[in-house]
């Protein structure tokens, strides 16, 4: 377990704020007041450190599988028309990430990045049906030599204000490696070929780079 590089500035700021608050509490207040403030600041720092944790997870080893791009709960599994890139029907699998989930995003398949685009937008709650097309978001498409292309869309939520996406078009990516990071509550959508055999259902809790979302037919 380590802390993610995206959290360094936030963690340093929280350490500074907590340190100054605790110092001021013990300078200006009696112990019966200073102790609760100290405990509250320690809890705040603990929550921030927990949010930016990065668990150790190995790369995927099975090209026939599509792994979960993040930790969270499946909120959508349905056939839709994807309008940004494919402009045809796909199977959409959406995963909601609460503020307590690991917020690293992972590549669900091996392949080559063929598309990446950032979109400014709204900050609707991440489970809102329109968040996939109206919220701030970043879209990445990865092409597998055999199974075709999979679209991964990182979506900001009501609290999320920063999406980071690492691969550039042309980059080779490895299943289970880091695709990006989203700060605070958010959502990730997958758009899969209609031939994909979906292995999850709405309400299921999934684990990034570990849970099988779908199996691609050979």
Residues 136, 121 contacting (CB under 8 angstroms):
yes
Show which residues are catalytic. 186
- Residue 99 near residue 118, CB atoms below 8 Å: no
Distance between CA 179 and CA 188 in Å, rounded? Answer: 11
**Inter-CA distances, 69 with 41, 100, 135, 210, 214, Å:** 32, 16, 19, 9, 12
pLDDT tens digits along 101-160: 888 999 999 999 999 999 886 655 555 555 555 678 899 999 988 778 999 999 886 555
Q: Where are the domains positioned within the chain? A: 2-54, 65-215
The DSSP bridge partners found for residue 90 are 80
Q: Under CATH, which architecture does the 65-215 domain have?
A: Distorted Sandwich (2.70)
Spans in the chain with pLDDT lower than 70: 1, 121-134, 157-161, 184-185, 217-218
pTM of the model: 0.84
* Closest by Cα among 160, 153, 113, 159 to 137: 153
């Amino acid at each position: 377990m380590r802390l993610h590089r995206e959290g360094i500035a936030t963690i340093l700021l929280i350490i500074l704020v907590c340190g100054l608050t605790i110092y001021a509490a013990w300078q200006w207040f009696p112990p019966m007041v200073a102790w609760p403030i100290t405990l509250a600041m320690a809890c705040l720092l603990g929550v921030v450190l927990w949010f930016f944790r990065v668990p150790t997870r190995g790369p995927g080893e099975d090209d026939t599988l599509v792994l979960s791009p993040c930790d969270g709960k499946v909120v959508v599994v349905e056939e839709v028309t994807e309008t940004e890139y494919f402009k045809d029907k796909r199977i959409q699998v959406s995963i909601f990430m609460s503020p307590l989930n690991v917020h690293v995003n992972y590549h669900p398949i091996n392949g080559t990045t063929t598309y990446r685009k950032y979109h400014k937008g709204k900050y609707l709650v991440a489970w809102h049906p329109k968040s996939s097309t109206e919220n701030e978001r970043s879209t990445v498409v990865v092409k597998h030599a055999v199974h075709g292309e999979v679209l991964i869309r990182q979506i900001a939520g009501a609290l999320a204000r920063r999406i980071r996406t690492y691969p550039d078009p042309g980059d080779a990516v490895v299943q289970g490696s880091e695709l990006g990071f989203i700060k605070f509550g958010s959502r990730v959508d997958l758009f899969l070929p209609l031939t994909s055999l979906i292995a999850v259902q709405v309400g299921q809790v999934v684990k990034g780079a570990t849970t099988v979302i779908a199996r691609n037919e050979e």
